[in-house]
Amino acid sequence: MKRVMVFAMVLLLSAGVVAQSKPAGDVAAAVQAMEDKWTEAARKNDVTAIDGLLAANVAVTNATGEMRTKAVFLSELKARKYESVRVADTKVTVFGDTAIATGFWGAKGTSNGKPFEENERYTDTWVKINGQWKCVATHASPAKPAK
């Protein structure tokens, strides 16, 4: 009888833990929403919105392999004006309170008054910190334009 009661208690506690955790699909949707917010902020040249998505100590690697601090990255974004932004092939993979978003980023615009065009594959690493999803690392690599 004791075994049955212990088993029942373990089962009930386990059910409570499962009920409290979010399914991976919900987490992926939340992270995808953050990716969409980043894209929309770039389209609007809203550096403040992008700032809010990034962890204080975010690791930024640009498409030329250079590392950037958050402050330098944001100052470079302030110098840009996007005319067009295109995102494709986005995939979010969830690992508990960490998620990896990968995809294609294409953009045209001006930076310090000079035209630019970029086509990149990106990897963004998101971690849930104090209940909020923050990008803790972003990496870009040159790519051919997505179809």
- At 33 the pLDDT is 96
User: Residue 98 has which token pair?
Assistant: 């960490």
Instruction: Specify burial of residue 124 (Cβ count, 10 A radius: 0-12, 13-18, 19+).
Output: buried
In the chain, alpha helices (H): 2-20, 24-43, 47-53, 70-78
DSSP H or E run through 103: strand 98-111
Task: Encode the chain (147 residues) as per-residue pLDDT tens digits.
Answer: 554 443 433 333 333 333 345 577 899 999 999 999 999 999 999 999 999 999 999 999 999 999 999 999 999 999 999 999 999 999 999 999 999 999 999 999 999 999 999 999 999 999 999 999 999 999 999 999 876
Q: Give the separation between CA 51 and CA 53, rounded to whole angstroms.
A: 5
Predicted pLDDT at 20? 42
**Domains delineated in the chain:** 23-142 (3.10.450.50)
CA distances from 60 to 19, 21, 65, 72 (A): 36, 30, 9, 9
